[in-house]
């Protein structure tokens, strides 16, 4: 469509979204980033979060799990590990992932004197898993 942004969300498995919009917000690692028509060319690293855009005047949402966003010539490409619309999100599975991540964090904090690199890595992974689960649930709640 003339005068609009062409938005594509690409995952390792599929093209999760291919649409047109007049604006969108992406969860960049340094905060939410708004993108409008005629945006300057750029590449931004993405955090796990909720991608938001308008489609035919209606607000739409999708969970994305990291990756990057490239903007050039009114084309926006989001390349991510996962791109899930609210209807595709299994709420029970996301809640179970949240519970597992919280348990892993509790175990890591209760291990007195564990300051090794392995423990720090386990804690960081648990924090990322928790963030992904919470962002999936956030996207699901927008359904």
Q: What residue ranges do the domains of the chain occupy? A: 5-84, 89-141
pLDDT digits (tens, 9 = 90+) for 14-48: 999 999 999 999 999 999 999 999 999 999 999 99
CATH 2.60.15.10 fits 5-84, yes or no: yes
pLDDT digits (tens, 9 = 90+) for 130-142: 888 888 888 888 7
Could you tell me if 21 and 71 are in contact, meaning their C-beta atoms sit under 8 angstroms apart? no
Q: Which pTM value belongs to this model?
A: 0.80
């Amino acid at each position: 469509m003339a005068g609009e942004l062409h938005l594509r969300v690409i995952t390792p498995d599929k093209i999760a979204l291919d649409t047109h919009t007049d604006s969108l917000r992406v969860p960049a690692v340094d905060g939410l980033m708004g993108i409008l028509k005629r945006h300057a060319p750029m590449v931004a690293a993405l955090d796990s979060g909720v991608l938001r855009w308008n489609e035919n005047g209606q607000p739409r949402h999708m969970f994305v799990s990291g990756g990057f966003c490239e903007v050039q010539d009114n084309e926006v490409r989001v390349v991510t590990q996962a791109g899930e619309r609210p209807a595709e999100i299994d709420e029970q599975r996301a809640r179970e992932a949240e519970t597992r991540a919280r348990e892993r964090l509790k175990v890591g904090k209760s291990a007195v004197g564990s300051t090794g690199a392995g423990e720090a890595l386990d804690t960081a992974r648990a924090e990322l898993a928790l963030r992904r689960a919470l962002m999936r649930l956030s996207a699901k709640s927008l359904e």
